[in-house]
């Protein structure tokens, strides 16, 4: 744990306001795109990766105490783990499946979200990512109880297309879609969103990462 203590010292010295611990990478998923690209992330090349499989709730408690910062637990995927997390004083539960790359056939985060919100019972704030491609996706997650919604692929695409300007444009589009959707729902602020604004529906076509953008390569209509 000495290297963890040293790392946390650097974190606090740098002025970070919170600490996020990822807990669903005990074994690195077979991420086929990365295999094809012959690329490994820095976390698999450096010190510390071999300790992830040994992570326990007790070790998490020790890290949380050493950090002395608001604590985020990322990768929670069940109500059972969410309930344990709040018992251990976790302030923020981050619902994520790493874009579905860690475990094939795992549930989508939007499916996990309601039971995790119920298990947390207001004792921790909830963040969610995964499959967020439209502003309406952000609103769905908030209506289901998420406090904040994060994006992954969208920011990567924006940066790859046009650097900082591309990322800004991604956020502008999300903002516009959120505004339009709220206006058409008759919602004046995010606090007015509720389960009453949602209903379950069967998919109308096979899922694909570009399904939300049918006029781009890989979309539904091309």
Return d(Cα 194, Cα 176) in angstroms, integer.
Answer: 20
Q: How confident is the model at residue 33 (pLDDT cuts 50, 70, 90)?
A: confident
d(CA 33, CA 125): 33
Q: Which two structure tokens, joined as six digits, stand for 2?
A: 């000495």
Select the more confidently predicted residue: 102 or 124: 124
pLDDT at 49 (0 to 100): 60
Calpha distance 221→198 (Å, rounded): 26
pLDDT tens, residue by residue, 35-49: 888 887 776 655 556
CB atoms under 10 Å from CB of 154, counted, come to 19
pLDDT of residue 100: 85
Reduce the DSSP state of residue 171 to 3 states and report it: helix
Tell me what pLDDT residue 124 has.
Answer: 98
% of the chain at pLDDT higher than 70: 95
Domains and CATH numbers, the chain: 2-152 (3.20.20.70)
Question: Environment class of residue 17 by beta-carbon count within 10 Å: exposed (0-12), middle (13-18) or buried (19+)?
Answer: exposed
H-only helix segments in the chain: 2-13, 32-37, 57-67, 79-87, 109-120, 135-143, 153-185
Residue 98 catalytic?
yes
Backbone angles phi, psi at 72, to 5 degrees: -115, 130
Three-class DSSP labels, 197-216 = HCCCCCCCCCCCCCCCCCCC
CA distance 195 to 175: 21
DSSP 8-state class, residue 88? T
| pLDDT of 213 over the 90 cut | no
What gap in Å lies between CA 222 and CA 220, rounded to an integer?
Answer: 6
Give the dihedral of Cα atoms 172, 154, 191, 92; nearest 10 deg.
Answer: -130
Residues 98, 105, 197, 208: which is the catalytic one? 98
């Amino acid at each position: 744990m000495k290297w963890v203590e040293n790392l946390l010292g650097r974190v606090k010295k740098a002025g970070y306001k919170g600490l996020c611990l990822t807990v669903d990478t005990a074994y690195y998923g077979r991420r086929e795109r990365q295999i094809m690209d012959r690329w490994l992330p820095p976390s698999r090349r450096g010190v510390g990766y071999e300790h992830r499989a040994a992570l326990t709730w007790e070790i998490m408690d020790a890290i949380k105490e050493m950090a002395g910062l608001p604590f985020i637990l990322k990768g929670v995927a069940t109500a059972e783990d969410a309930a344990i997390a709040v018992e251990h004083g976790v302030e923020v539960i981050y619902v994520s499946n790493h874009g579905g790359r860690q475990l094939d056939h795992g549930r989508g985060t939007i499916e996990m979200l309601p039971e995790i919100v119920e298990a947390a019972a207001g004792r921790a704030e909830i963040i969610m990512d995964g499959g967020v491609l439209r502003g309406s996706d952000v609103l769905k997650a908030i209506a289901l109880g998420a406090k904040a919604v994060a994006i992954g692929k969208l920011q990567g695409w924006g940066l790859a297309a046009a650097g900082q300007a591309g990322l800004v444009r991604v956020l502008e589009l999300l903002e516009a879609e959120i505004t339009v959707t709220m206006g058409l729902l008759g919602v004046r602020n995010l606090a007015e969103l509720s389960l009453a604004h949602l209903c379950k529906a069967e998919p109308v076509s096979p899922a694909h990462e570009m399904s939300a953008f049918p006029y781009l390569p890989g979309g539904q209509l091309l």
